[in-house]
A and B are shown apart, each in its own frame.
Chain A
Amino acid sequence: DQQVKQNSPSLSVQEGRISILNCDYTNSMFDYFLWYKKYPAEGPTFLISISSIKDKNEDGRFTVFLNKSAKHLSLHIVPSQPGDSAVYFCAASVENTGNQFYFGTGTSLTVIP
């Protein structure tokens, strides 16, 4: 059973606007959450992370929010740029389990110029 879910397979946003990508999880033991970005024919690249002791983490245009009670996290990209068009994966892990991450199915973001 999928422990990490991304229920929106795709999202289109105008350049300059905000992109919000959502992720839900079922395992309340997850401590670490990561977001990855993937271009076609390439491996995923690490984008931003958050641990369960925080509810927000920012890195430039990217902000991740964590709502532990709702088992929900989101990635905000502001402002969105055409180069942000890619597939975004969220991933979650339990501390001290060898960094085994469970990945969502991905959301394909298209930023329209």
Chain B
Amino acid sequence: NAGVTQTPKFRVLKTGQSMTLLCAQDMNHEYMYWYRQDPGMGLRLIHYSVGEGTTAKGEVPDGYNVSRLKKQNFLLGLESAAPSQTSVYFCASSYSTVLHYGYTFGSGTRLTVV
């Protein structure tokens, strides 16, 4: 049982390049999320999805796009990377009733934009 799997684990991009981060979960969770973690800022929600084919903006959505074509996958895209997007990105998933189980997080993707 893999839980939440993020690929890649590390990536270095040049400014202006694009990339897609992949998140896959095998727990049949309805909800999926992308967070970024920066020093002194905690985790901030970028985008989230409450079901297949749906997406919504979180706290810091600018510069990112997402897609959820299949229930088990949630993709995060950077169209034109900027140094301000250097961060650790975490994907998470949950049932709709989150109180008793919380989110299940992936192990993170460390992205550096130079």
Contact = CB atoms under 8 A, between A and B. Distances in A.
Interface of A: 2, 4, 6, 32, 34, 36, 41-47, 49, 51, 89, 91, 93, 98-106
Interface in B33-50: 33, 35, 40-45, 48, 50
Contacts of A49: 99-100, 102
Give the dominant DSSP class at A's interface: strand
Given A98-B50, A103-B43, A43 B90 contact: yes
B105 A43 contact: yes
Contacts, number: 69
A42 B42 contact: no
Contacts of A4: 42
B56 to A, nearest CB: 6
Given A89-B43, A103-B44, A105-B40, A44 B99 contact: no
Contact of A105 (B33, B41, B104): B41
A44 to B, nearest CB: 5
Contact of B42 (A46, A51, A99, A103): A103
A105 B103 CA distance: 17
Contact of B98 (A36, A99, A102, A104): A99
Interface in B86-114: 90, 92, 94, 96, 98-108
Contacts of B90: 43-44
B38 to A, nearest CB: 10
